[in-house]
Amino acid sequence: MSNRAFAAIAFAVAIAIAAASQLIGNEYFFVAAYTVLQFVILATAWNILGGYTGYVNFGSASFFAVGAYTSVALYNAFKAPLPVVIVAGTVTAGLVGLGVGYLTLRLRGVFFAIATLALSVVLYTFVVNWDYVGGARGAYIILPREGPFGLSRYIHLLYIAMVLMAAFALVIARAIETSTLGRGLAAIRDDELAAECSGVPTLRLKIFSTMVSCALMGMAGTTLPYFISYIEPSSAFSLSYAVNSIAMPLIGGMMSWMGPLIGAVLLGSVQQLVQVTVSSAWNLLIVGVLLVLFVTLAPNGIMGWVYAWRRRKER
């Protein structure tokens, strides 16, 4: 299937889902769905650098927060409309990713991973000290209760935006995966030195992959301030984003665009249930344990099981 056909199908499905959900009366559905969609984007984004290229980013929360705080800054500055805010957040996060990548990708992947981990702390410190976006006390965004275009609530608009963005992220991931660029990334992941000696411009591809991945993570964060109408550092930089963006692709399967989608929907839904019934700390513990279990015992994730089962059937 060509990428154009996939894109058409993805957006058609997205619009269908968005339209169908107007029939749902339960408002909680939108809250839960928003969160799951957020994770679909984050997991898909992480996997572009993680699963496709083999570089681990521990600082997903940082780039997510860049998107969120760019929204807040632009909204406070001149009440920018939603599409502008989304694009701005995406671009800004991409630029931050470019910066970090440029500084650390010439070295071993390990140093990139460590740099991303430390980046969270630094960005957090920066944001806490920056009063324009509320600093440690946080900032409020007051939104109209009704949504535009006749939607009954503003959150419905956010939800639709997220569905479209999730489709967008999946289309981008698949386009990269199936392109020549994607082959180069896979070569880098398997053996970077051999890739370089096969003519793959490894540094350039790594930087590009980092930029796209971080930009999409930022995109996931742009609607957060609108969603919860209040933003403060510890929720924007929440540990939940960091661990989930790694656990979901790992559990779903890192080799293709389907893995993060499956991981996000499954794990995200489970977490919504657990969070409501048990505490959120237990929820995170379960995610952490699943991460360690899968990485040691089932490193290829759920999609890995599917492939193995399919290959066994072929024999």
Partner 1 sequence: MRQPAGDPRRFRFDPMEITPALILNAVIAGLLIGGFYAAVSVGVSISFGMLDVVNIAHPAFILVGSYIAYIVNDRFGFDPILVSLVVSPLFFALGLGIYRVYYVCFERRGQESLRGLAFFFGILFITEVALVLIFGVDYRTASTAYTDTTLRLGGIDFPLRLVVPFAVSMAMVAGLQVFFTHTFFGRAVLAVAQDQLALRLMGVDPVRIKGLAFALSIATASVAGAFLIVIQPVQPSIGREYIGLVFAVCVLGGMGSIWGTLIGALVLGVAESFTSTFVGPSWAPAVSFGLLLATLAFRPSGILGR
Partner 2 sequence: MMAGTLLEVSGVTKRFGGFTALDGVDFSVRPGERVGLIGPNGSGKSTLVNCITGTLRNEEGSIRFEGQDICGYAAHRRIRLGLARSFQIPKPFTSMSVLDNLCVPLLFAARKHEKFAPGRVVEEAMHILGQVGLESKARAMSGGLTQVDMRKLELARAMAAKPKLLISDEAMAGLSASEVDEILALLSGLKERGVAVIMIEHVMRAVMKFSERIAVLVAGRKIADGDPQSVVGNADVIKAYLGE
Q: b/e for 237-271, b at 16 or more Cβ within 10 A?
A: bbebbbbbbbbbbbbbbbbbbbbbbbbbbebbeeb
The Cα 139–Cα 304 span in angstroms is: 43
**Per CB under 8 A, 125 contacts partner 1:** yes
Of the candidate residues 194, 289, 292, 293, the single one contacting partner 2 (CB under 8 A) = 194
Q: Burial, 113: exposed, middle or buried (Cβ in 10 Å; 0-12, 13-18, 19+)?
A: middle
For 233, other C-beta atoms within 10 Å of its C-beta total 23
Q: Does 281 bind partner 1 (CB under 8 A)?
A: yes
Interface segment toward partner 1; rule CB under 8 A; list 31-39, 144-152, 171-179, 279-287: 279-287
Which part of the chain contacts partner 1 (CB under 8 A), choosing from 75-83, 162-170, 256-264, 294-302?
Answer: 294-302
Q: Are 195 and 184 in contact (CB under 8 A)?
A: yes
Among positions 155, 164, 176, 195, the unique one binding partner 2 when judged by CB under 8 A? 195
Q: For the window 35-54, what string marks contact with partner 1 as x by the rule CB under 8 A?
A: ---------------x---x
CA angle 102, 61, 81 (to 5 degrees): 95
**Is the CB of residue 301 less than 8 Å from the CB of residue 263?**
yes
Which of residues 53, 90, 116, 202 is near partner 2 by CB under 8 A?
Answer: 202
Interface with partner 2 (CB under 8 A): 180, 183-184, 186-187, 189-191, 193-203, 255
List contacts with partner 1 (CB under 8 A).
Answer: 50, 54, 56, 58, 103-104, 107, 109-111, 113-115, 117-122, 125-126, 128-132, 135, 189, 239, 243, 246-247, 250, 281-282, 284-285, 288-289, 291-292, 295-296, 299
